[in-house]
Amino acid sequence: MNKIMPSMFTVRDPIQHQALRRPVAQKFSMSSIKALEPFADECTKILVDSLKDLEGESVDLGVWLQWYAFDVIGAITFQRRFGFMETRQDFKGMIADIEMVLQYAGTIGQVPALHPWLVGNLWLSKFLAAQPFVKVPDPLRTIVQFTQQCIDDYDSEPVEMHGDRPDFLAWLRNEEKRGKPMLNRDMINHLSNNLLAGSDTTAISLRAIVYYVVQNPTVYRKLQNEIDEADQAGKFSEYVTYAECLELGYL
Ligand code: HEM
């Protein structure tokens, strides 16, 4: 506790980076990622059904795409959706927390000399935390606590319930059984990295795709035609997966 933990995003030493990366690299291979696709499909269905439900109302698609991305990340990391889309709200304020971290990182990235005097100052953090009337924001706490909760829940379940789970948490625990033990802090580091690295990035990419397709009528028409043709040819079921697109030669 109260010690700075290096992550794949923060280390600058290539040897240290390699050491952090090695235990999880295989999980980011194409075949492993494709095995996670049903989790995304499940979320796509919830997104589409929710938007159908909201037909006629004005919705902020940017917000929905972020909820969608975050739910997919929860599903692939812990086999547990956060429920952003089902509850239609920022689950435990995680999106706001990440926003706060990014605001800080964005500013401090420009003026790194300030960091040792602010969040990077452990003495100051401890001092402020000990003050009864000062509420110090700790935006990563919820994400770390949630990650720990998911690990604890997984460990307390009967082994028979785990089946052949392809999510990151189950995969890391199986790696341990194969003789590659991992400290709890490293487990939290890798799993919470997914939440921090994978939600905003995916949401922003999805928003950009929608925005630019809508902005560009030629691209919009081309995409619409491709989808219509494939649909009329009966090639697509209601939800087309990446694997099916590959099989059909669309990618
Ligand atoms: C469209 C979505 C995404 C974008 C644009 C994106 C972008 C990036 C970028 C620019 C880096 C830094 C690469 C470098 O420093 O060489 C990175 C690293 C990383 N990303 Fe993503 N990312 C996306 C989705 C995801 C998802 C979904 C996950 C996890 C589930 C993820 C996990 C990671 C991890 C763990 C690293 C560190 C890799 C390393 O240091 O070796 N990313 N990503």
User: Chain centroid to CA 213: how far?
Assistant: 24
- DSSP H/E element including 235: none
Same domain, 157 and 246: no
pLDDT of residue 11: 92
| 29 domain-assigned | yes
Q: What is the pLDDT of residue 28?
A: 94
Q: Residue 198 Cα, ligand 1 centroid: separation in angstroms?
A: 7
In a shared domain, residues 234 and 202: no
Q: If DSSP codes are grouped into helix, strand and coil, which group holds residue 209? A: helix
If asked whether residues 190 and 230 sit together in one domain, one would say no
Residue ID of nearest Cα to ligand 1 atom 24: 198
Kindly state whether residues 84 and 48 are assigned to the same domain: yes
- CATH number, position 65: 1.10.630.10
Residue 119, in any domain of the structure: no
Residues 94/141, Cβ–Cβ less than 8 Å? no
Shortest-distance Cα residue to atom 38 of ligand 1: 8
Residue 40 and residue 75: Cα distance in Å, rounded? Answer: 8
Nearest protein Cα to ligand 1, atom 19: 197
User: How many residues are listed for the chain in this entry?
Assistant: 251
Handedness of CA 38, 228, 224, 247 (dihedral sign): positive
**Pocket (CB within 6 angstroms of ligand 1):** 8-9, 21, 73, 193-194, 197-198, 201-202, 205
The reply to whether 207 and 225 lie within a common domain is: no
79/173 Cα distance (integer angstroms): 13
| The pLDDT of residue 123 | 87
Position 199 in a domain: yes
Kindly state whether residue 9 falls inside one of the protein's structural domains.
no
Residues 45 and 76 in one domain: yes
Residues 50, 106 within the same domain: yes
pLDDT for position 238: 56
Q: What CA–CA distance (Å, rounded) separates 134 from 119?
A: 15
Instruction: Tell whether 51 and 94 lie within a shared domain.
Output: yes
- Give the alpha-carbon dihedral of 187, 86, 196, 104, to 10 degrees: -140
61-78 vs 168-177: helix axis angle to the nearest 10?
20
> Quick one: how far is CA 215 from the chain centroid?
27
| pLDDT for position 22 | 94
**Which residue has the CA at smallest separation from atom 39 of ligand 1?**
8
* Residue of minimum CA distance from atom 27 in ligand 1: 198
Cβ atoms of residues 199 and 98 within 8 Å: yes
Pocket test for ligand 1, best of 10, 34, 71, 201 (most atoms within 8 A of CB): 201
In this structure, the answer to whether residues 192 and 79 fall within a common structural domain is yes
Give 56 Cα–ligand 1 centroid separation in angstroms.
Answer: 36
Range of the domain at 230: 216-251
* Ligand 1 centroid from CA 174, angstroms: 23
Question: Can you tell me which atom of ligand 1 is nearest the CA of 73?
Answer: 30
Residues 202 and 229 in one domain: no
Ligand 1 atom closest to 25 (CA): 41
Q: Whose CA is nearest to atom 3 of ligand 1?
A: 201
**Which residue is listed with tokens 């923060």?**
10
Give domain status of residue 166, yes or no: yes
Q: Is 53 exposed, middle or buried, given 0-12, 13-18 or 19+ CB atoms closer than 10 A?
A: exposed
Does residue 227 lie within any of the structural domains?
Answer: yes
What is the pLDDT at residue 244?
63
| Domain count along the chain | 2
**Same domain, residue pair 220 and 109:** no
Residues 136 and 129: their CA atoms lie apart, in Å, by 6
Per-residue model confidence (pLDDT) at position 130: 84
From the CA of 9, how far away is ligand 1's center (Å)?
A: 9
Residue 122 in domain: no
CA distance 96 to 233: 44
Looking at the structure, do residues 172 and 238 belong to the same domain, yes or no? no
Residue 168 alpha carbon to ligand 1 centre in Å:
15
Residue 78 lies in a domain: yes
pLDDT score for 160:
87
Side-chain-side CA neighbours of residue 182 (13 Å): 25
List the residue whose alpha carbon is closest to atom 16 of ligand 1.
Answer: 9
Decide: 212 and 219 in contact? Cβ < 8 Å. Answer: yes
- Stretches where the chain sits below pLDDT 70 are 1-3, 236-251
Residue 11, C-beta contacts closer than 8 angstroms, at least 6 positions apart? 17, 20
